[in-house]
Structure 1
Amino acid sequence: MSPPMNFRAIFPLLLSTSLLLPAGCASSAKDQMPNSGPTQTQTTEQSGAKSTPNTAASLEGVWRGKLEVSGASLTIIFNLKRAKDAPNGWQATMDSPDQGATGIPVTEVLVDNNKVQLNVPVIRGAFEGTFADGGDAIDGAWGQAGQAFPLYLQRSSAEEAYRVERPQDPKPPFPYAIEEVEFAGGQPTAGTDQPVKLAGTLTLPKTEGPHPVLVLLTGSGPQDRDETILNHKPFWVLADFLSRNGVAVLRFDDRGVAKSTGVFDNATIDDFVTDALAAVEYLGTRDDINADTIGLLGHSEGANVAPRASLLTQKIDFLVLLAPTAVPGTELLARQNALLFKGMGMSEDGARAYETRMLETLTKLVEEPLDKPVSKALRKTLRADFKAAAAAMSPQDRKVYGPTKSEDFDHVLDQMLEQLTASWMRSFLAMKPATTFTKLTIPTLAIYGSKDLQVAPAQNVGPLRDHLAKHPETTVTVLNGLNHLFQPAQTGLPAEYATIKTTLDPELMDTVLDWLQERDIVSDAPADRQ
């Protein structure tokens, strides 16, 4: 299992073999690799192998390769620099930019003639290979989670190694005004007294105001105003599109993130609701904003923050919800895990059985009052449940589920239980969206992607339509072929997100704008919609 990096729902809680993240699990480097490599004592200086280009001298620099795992191709970059004062004579780091993981310390750089070993103990992984192509490549394998994956590294310039193609990123000149803003946020995070001041960007059409406005609310985890994920900036792309077509857009950094103050850790959905309300209050003070057309657009967790905020004020006039959760949090997480494991190769029967077991386990957790810490006895029960689930799997399903060595599996369980028992996760699991959605009275558009494996439409669309059945001004639609980030996808797996060049499918943006125009929230855009 890997943790959700800097994301809590974008990258779901999984016992899996996803690679490279700091709490990722693997056996020791020596156990992982198919062939034994140089030992600690076989450093460059001791081997004396300096007569060929295949030595430490030719190892220095930037190395880039592609790792094929879980149906996705991940970019791996090693930065290696000789340094007399550094441990083992090297300053070295590893990056997985597609996963948003950078600066992972490589604590051992071992060279023996033309063999290289790079040990990354913080993620319990290692690369081992042999110089090739006259010293401009290293042919080897990455080992982690008890598995070895082929990895061919090539020498690269830093500029080329980190180049990512994101063709939708907005580029100047911009046909709208851009204003950097700050405003008072909501209540301080529980257990802290640090005030929340939110920093963001307001984009304003150059047409005559006052303008209708959408406040963008990010998905879970510490997110900046652009909802940056894996070098994609979906909220920037969306704001650019909407402001080109007559809609003002306010997007802001989460509390405690980037330029916003406050404390993000342990903040819950209730805290984010107060921040959404603060944004609405701020917009109400501006003459260039139409106070009668203020809407909230939320993605993932933000799509559940928005409706809750709308029930606490009369100043929110409409909602746009991207991938809202419509079932209890326990049911969502259990189904999410089952779908993702199935996508990674687990059998359908195995994934279904695991969903049932996980739901039973999560139900035990939510029965513990949120205002009380999770007891040692319950932690012991949760651990036993997950071990029993693993033991009940077929050998093939067990390999998909996670590391098979007892030591590695225990390490994984430690990490997962820390996440499961955190304040935010407990509040998410206890969430019952029906209590909110059944009370909505303002126009609401909800959109899902048919290939979303994290908030699956098959699980959520029906219940959401039932919750909104008495509210005539609602639209619930599913866009074909799109994933949780509303990209055109092949599998819908999170491992695919970074490999897709498209940040937001145009159909999503057109669907939002069409709905706003149909309700006269914004006037019709020019025939050559921008």
Structure 2
Amino acid sequence: MKQLRLIILFSILSLSVTVRAMEEQSVSLDTPTGKINGKIGLPDAKKPPIVLLIAGSGPTDMDGNTNSGGFSMKNNSLKLLAEGLAQRGIATLRFDKRGIASSSAATKKERDLRFEDYVTDVQGWIDRLSEDSRFSDVFVLGHSEGSLIGMLASVDNPKVKGFISLAGAGRPAYDIIEEQLSGQPAEVRHLVKSINDSLKAGKEVSNIPMGLMTLFRPSVQPYLISWYRYNPQEVIAKLRQPVLILQGDKDVQVSEEDAKLLKQSLPKAQFQILKDMNHVLKTCESVDMQVQQATYANPDLPVQEDLLITIEKFVKR
């Protein structure tokens, strides 16, 4: 009976530790167009390092989920990443990008939005965290499109102790768009390249065909022009702080080649391909789209353990 009581007591204590693994605090960043809201995940540790998590492209919220235009996809990838790091004594801050979820009030008209707006927001968060005496060092982690945003915010920024590119593109956005449309008829491919060439030169394009309006509508062209200015290979080469490049080998959105291009541009960077990790940071042994889709919509499937271990080693090195 005494042994049974000890087992029960141990189970209760273990449950308590799990529940208290990460305390969350709401936080906001004031910008000229409104507040950007986020959450700080606090571990049970004294003066921990903190990692700023930057979500990827599109209407992706601070938890890594998508809910827009009647389409919803919940995988909790960034929330689970924050929880996993908290269990390893690392704090995090994740936030809804301007115009997304709880930060929708900070949106701009589409024609007025620029890629640099996202970079400025991240720089604001970095400044905020660097002044917070609860944390020892500030690290920046950008996922997918967030990788380029985080790189730009970290260049010549002594407040950033280290940068982590997680499933980040190694090529300019126009190259990726043209690759994604490589299966289209030659006429479409040539038209897309012509439009991109004009946008790369800073010139907007009128008379966009209806079939390409979603991608190149007039109101989004100024944003594309601002985004096309940046080549991730050139930007990462400018980083002076330690850099970690991570890529999953089952990622069907960003290729291993992208990670290798980033590594070639910054040979001193740490580099690791994570076996069986996909774009939403979950373990997946197949690149079959149906199998992948199941992980994109499973909020209970944990992020890969090797990912957490690798980030912990980099942050605590």
What is the TM-score with the length of structure 1 in the denominator? Answer: 0.49
CA displacement, residues 262-286 of structure 1 (integer Å, 9 cap, x when unaligned): 1155333211111111101111222
Aligned pair 1:374/2:211, yes or no? Answer: no
Partner-residue secondary structure (3-state), 2:19: coil
How far residue 516 of structure 1 moved from its aligned partner, in angstroms, is 2.4
Aligned length: 287
Shift of residue 301, structure 1, vs aligned partner? 0.6
Which residue, 154, 158, 162 being the options, matches 1:314? 158
Q: Distance in 2 between matches of 1:418 and 1:369?
A: 12
C-alpha contact (below 8 Å) 1:336/1:456 kept by paired residues: no
Structure 1 partner of 2:262: 464
2:313 to 505, 514, 517: 514
Structure 1 residue 335, shift from structure 2 partner: 2.9
Retained in 2: the 8 A contact 1:487–1:503?
Answer: yes
Q: Which residue is 1:365 aligned to?
A: 195
Aligned 8 A contact 1:374 1:421 in 2? no
Unaligned stretches of 5+ residues in structure 2: 1-16, 67-72
User: Which AA in structure 1 matches 2:271?
Assistant: V
The yes-or-no answer on 1:284 pairing with 2:130 is: yes
The alpha carbon displacement at 1:374 in A equals 1.6
Checking the alignment, whether the CA contact within 8 Å between 1:204 and 1:248 is kept in structure 2 is yes
1:239 aligns with 2:34: no
**Equivalent position of 1:249 in the other structure:** 92
Residue 259 of structure 2 is aligned to residue 487 of structure 1: no
State whether residues 300 and 325 of structure 1, in contact with CA within 8 Å, keep that contact through their aligned partners in structure 2.
Answer: yes
Q: Distance in 2 between matches of 1:355 and 1:512?
A: 42
SS at match of 2:101: coil
CA gap of 1:283–1:365, structure 2 versus 1, over 3 A, is: same
Equivalent of 1:175 in 13, 18, 21 = 21
Bigger Rg over Cα: 1
3-state SS of 1:324 partner = coil
Q: 1:208 aligns with which of 36, 46, 56?
A: 46
CA distance in 2, matches of 1:273, 1:419: 23
Deviations 1:78-123 (A, max 9, x none): xxxxxxxxxxxxxxxxxxxxxxxxxxxxxxxxxxxxxxxxxxxxxx
Give me the identity figure in percent. 24
User: Which structure: greater helix fraction?
Assistant: 2
Are 1:258 and 2:128 matched, yes or no? no
Q: TM-score, normalised by structure 2?
A: 0.80
Q: CA deviation at 1:425?
A: 4.0
Q: Is the 8 A contact 2:75 2:280 kept in 1?
A: no
Q: 1:223 aligns to what?
A: 60
Q: CA deviation digits over 1:280-313, x for unaligned, max 9?
A: 11112222112xx211011001011111101152
- Equivalent position amino acid for 1:374 in 2: V
SS in 1 for 2:205: coil
2 CA distance for matches of 1:434 and 1:507? 26
Q: CA RMSD in A?
A: 2.8
Return the offset for 1:426: 4.4
User: CA contact under 8 A between 1:219 and 1:298: conserved in structure 2?
Assistant: yes
Give the superposition deviation at 1:498: 4.0
Q: Which consecutive unaligned segments of at least 5 residues does structure 1 have?
A: 1-170, 189-194, 339-350, 384-409, 520-530
Aligned ranges for residues 22-421 of structure 1 at < 5 Å? Answer: 173-185=19-31, 188=32, 195-209=33-47, 211-229=48-66, 230-260=73-103, 261-263=105-107, 266=110, 267-290=113-136, 293-338=137-182, 351=183, 354=184, 360-369=190-199, 372-376=203-207, 379=208, 383=209, 412-418=211-217
Deviations 1:32-71 (A, max 9, x none): xxxxxxxxxxxxxxxxxxxxxxxxxxxxxxxxxxxxxxxx
1:355 positional shift: 9.5
Contact 2:77 2:303 in 1 (8 A): yes
The answer to whether the 8 A contact 1:482-1:492 is kept is: no
Determine helix, strand or coil for the equivalent of 2:117: helix
**SS where residue 296 of structure 1 aligns?**
strand
